[in-house]
Structure 1
Amino acid sequence: MTAMAIRPDDLSHAAVQALLSEHLEDMYATSPPESVHALDLDALRAPDIAFYSAWDGDTLLGCGALRDLGDGHLEIKSMRAARDQRGRGTGAAILRHLLDEAVRRGAVRVSLETGVEPYFEPARRLYQRHGFVVCAPFADYVPDPNSVFMTLSLPA
Structure 2
Amino acid sequence: MIRPTTPAETDALVALAEGTGVFKPLELEALREVLDDYHAGPDPAGHKALTLERDGHPVGFAYYAPTAMTDRTWHLYWIFVQRTGQARGLGSRLLRHVEDDIIQSGGRLFLIETSSLPSYELTRRFYLKHGYEQAATIKDFYTDGDDQVIFRKRLVP
How does the TM-score come out when normalised to structure 2? 0.77
Distance apart, 1:119 and its partner CA: 1.4
Provide closer, same or farther for how the CA distance between residues 55 and 25 of structure 1 changes in structure 2, counting only shifts above 3 A: same
Question: Can you list the C-alpha shifts for 1:39-59, whole angstroms capped at 9, x where unaligned?
Answer: 422224342320001011222
Provide closer, same or farther for how the CA distance between residues 9 and 73 of structure 1 changes in structure 2, counting only shifts above 3 A: same
- SS of 2:106's partner is coil
Partner Cα distance (2:124, 2:85) in 1: 17
Amino acid paired to 1:86: Q
What is the aligned partner in structure 2 of residue 9 from structure 1?
Answer: 5
Distance apart, 1:15 and its partner CA: 1.9
Amino acid paired to 2:128: Q
How does the TM-score come out when normalised to structure 1? 0.78
Aligned counterpart in structure 2 of residue 64 of structure 1, from 36, 59, 62: 62
Structure 1: where are the runs of 5+ without partners? Answer: none
What is the aligned partner in structure 2 of residue 28 from structure 1?
Answer: 24
| Structure number with higher relative contact order (C-alpha < 8 Å, ≥ 6 residues apart) | 1
What is the aligned partner in structure 2 of residue 153 from structure 1?
Answer: 154
- SS of 2:87's partner is coil
Partner Cα distance (1:59, 1:154) in 2: 30
The range that moved more, 113-122 or 43-52, is 43-52
Is the Cα contact below 8 Å between 2:14 and 2:28 reproduced in 1? no
2:76 matches 1:79 = no
Identity of aligned residues (%): 22
Question: Can you list the C-alpha shifts for 1:92-117, whole angstroms capped at 9, x where unaligned?
Answer: 11111111111011101110111111
CA-based RMSD of the aligned residues comes to: 2.7
Which runs of at least 4 in structure 1 moved beyond 6 Å after TM superposition? none
